[in-house]
Structure 1
Amino acid sequence: MLKCQSYLYDFEKPVSLFICPLCQSPLQPAADTWRCDGSLHPKQTAHPFDVARQGYVNLLPVQQKKSKAPGDSQQSIEARKRFLHAGHYQPLNDLICQKMVALLSSNEQVNWLDIGCGEGYYTQSMAQLGTEVIDTLIAADISKPAVVELAKVSKMAAQLWYQQNEQPSTQTTVIYPLVTSAAHLPLRAHSMTGISSIFSPILPEAFAEVLADDGYLIIAKPDAGHLATMRDALFDDVREHDSDKFLTELSPYFTLLDTHRVSTELTLSAGDLADLMTMTPYAYRARSEKRQTLLEAVEMKPFNTEAKFVVYVLQKTTDK
């Protein structure tokens, strides 16, 4: 059982951030059970959402699921953990954090949403920027196994929202790990200072709804030529990444401020390459014999490829 620590936590600030995914009433965080006040429910019903022992909250109602277990599988999550923690995508991680520092350091109170956070590799780096950059960090993903991993790491680091007063001498960014749908965010309108979407779906209306006026949106996508040699080995017909195709959809709600590109040369062992394939759509799009042939070749000598990324920094248009 998760020990109730409500007395450690000042709920005055975050109570206005969350809304019930069932009735949209204000949702009150607590260390054991989150509960809405039912004010917008026809019968004034207060819906409870228990905090899991790992420290996450499931705010994904069954009616918002398109499958029994939506999002990334445990196998994909484990592969991504190994690959990312080996440092292969560190230049992208550094670039995202640099841009966030530049955008946010002058803000007094920053509530940031990392949508599609996965197991939390990028989220943890954002949290390490500290409260001088981000005060409240909401890490959201539709994959329950991914959020479980993030919550466990955050709990060990005493970063969860109900742990913030256990170490009063430290300036710790508060993390809320949530299982939720990006299309139905359980967040009050205009409550977020910014959103990051790293290799995750782009939902212009949903993002604009929860962002404050002049709020920021950081998007990371594969750039043209990303993992080109790997894709050439796996597919007979390779389609190039069209990374900026979604900018037109965003234009009614957001203004593009900057575009940044970063690349890194990768020398991968067979294990690294297997993890890379497993954590990407190539795991199921490529034919099994093509994957096996490539892995067998890499057993003899490391595989070289180049990771290429593009990062967009946008700002919400104030009249939307």
Structure 2
Amino acid sequence: MQPAADTWRCDGSLHPKQTKHPFDVARQGYVNLLPVQQKKSKAPGDSQASIEARQRFLAAGHYQPLQALLEQQMRPLLGQSDTAANWLDVGCGEGYYTQAMAQIDGIASLIAADISKPAVSTLAKASKAAGQLWYQQPKEDATQTAVYPLVTSAAHLPLRARSVTGISSIFSPILPEAFAKVLCDTGYLIIAKPDSQHLASMREALFDSVREHDSDKFLHELAPHFTLLATHHVSTELSLAANDLADLMTMTPYAYRARAEKRQALLELSEHAPFNTEARFVVYVLQKHAGT
């Protein structure tokens, strides 16, 4: 693939007929590499309403402790190499965490991938406004991180084998084989998930029966390819006004899993006093086995 400011072109080397397909760059600054046959719905991924709610909620700083922890864990990993890294943020969403990663020294290319076009479009617009897109970076300046916003499936990543130094998956699906394929030998994988008791009081108010988060259930699936280096927990107390609580519900699966009357009752309660709950997260740092 040959990236350019207006159109990306594949060189045809992997096509039986050597066809060189073009992929136009959207005016917002993203490239759609999701084939129609990989779509499970007309508009896969998070909706525009969910993206906008998450933007407002995260911009208010409610999940900033998680953002800070991720940055803290990435910096020493990137500092171990003399060459700048290619980093993949899978399920990047609207880019709250991705944009923080773009400020970390040591990343040459930051590939932001999500199946949701509204999410990637939002990230691309913000990155373009900040002058962070790949075609906005001076070629002679290797210290700047170039952001590549891509609409694509995590299960079918359009990346060469062993081409990225690290992967972050924040509240996104875990795909051991796909991740191991594109990671270089001894590359790193950082995973963030809801921890036990995450938003417990909110879930108790919305559901008659609450099933606890099983945060580490996927670790055994990663074991053939990865070694767990560290586990970190972070939590933050939230005191939410009605508008923030509405955004939190909209940006989570609770928006459609909880009954409408339960959601409405909780929102009415928060009109009179802030709703208190606790956000709890767990972050895993893993390293790929050499040769897998």
* TM-score grouping bracket, smaller chain normalisation: over 0.9
Determine if the alignment matches structure 1 residue 212 to structure 2 residue 187. no
1:72 maps to 46
Instruction: Name the SS for the 1:304 alignment partner.
Output: strand
8 Å Cα contact 2:87/2:165 also seen in 1: yes
2:120 maps to 147
1:5 maps to none
Give, in whole Å, the separation in 2 of the partners of 1:246 and 1:300.
40
| 5+ residue gaps, structure 2 | none
Determine if the alignment matches structure 1 residue 299 to structure 2 residue 271. yes
Structure 2 residue identity aligned to 1:283: A
1:110 maps to 85
Instruction: Name the SS for the 1:150 alignment partner.
Output: helix
Superposed, 1:126-137 pairs within 5 Å as 126-129=101-104, 132-137=105-110
Give, in whole Å, the separation in 2 of the partners of 1:216 and 1:65.
28
Superposed, 1:87-236 pairs within 5 Å as 87-107=61-81, 108-129=83-104, 132-165=105-138, 171-236=143-208
For residue 41 of structure 1, report the CA deviation from its aligned partner: 1.4
1:264 maps to 236
Give, in whole Å, the separation in 1 of the partners of 2:84 and 2:102.
14
Name which of 34, 37, 42 aligns with 2:16.
42
Identical pairs, percent: 77
Give, in whole Å, the separation in 1 of the partners of 2:193 and 2:270.
27
* 1:166-220: CA deviation from partner (whole Å, max 9, x where unpaired): 8x67932100000000000000000000000000000000000000000000000
Give, in whole Å, the separation in 2 of the partners of 1:53 and 1:105.
34
8 Å Cα contact 2:106/2:143 also seen in 1: no
For residue 300 of structure 1, report the CA deviation from its aligned partner: 0.3
- Runs of 4 or more off by more than 4 Å in structure 1? none
Structure 2 residue identity aligned to 1:268: L
Name which of 41, 48, 62 aligns with 2:36.
62
TM-score, with structure 2 as normaliser: 0.98
1:9 maps to none
- CA 1:47–1:100: 2 relative to 1, 3 Å: same
* 1:126-157: CA deviation from partner (whole Å, max 9, x where unpaired): 0011xx32111000000000000000000011
Aligned length: 291
Instruction: Name the SS for the 1:261 alignment partner.
Output: strand
| 5+ residue gaps, structure 1 | 1-26
* 1:54-98: CA deviation from partner (whole Å, max 9, x where unpaired): 110000010110100000000000000000010000000000000
Instruction: Name the SS for the 1:135 alignment partner.
Output: strand
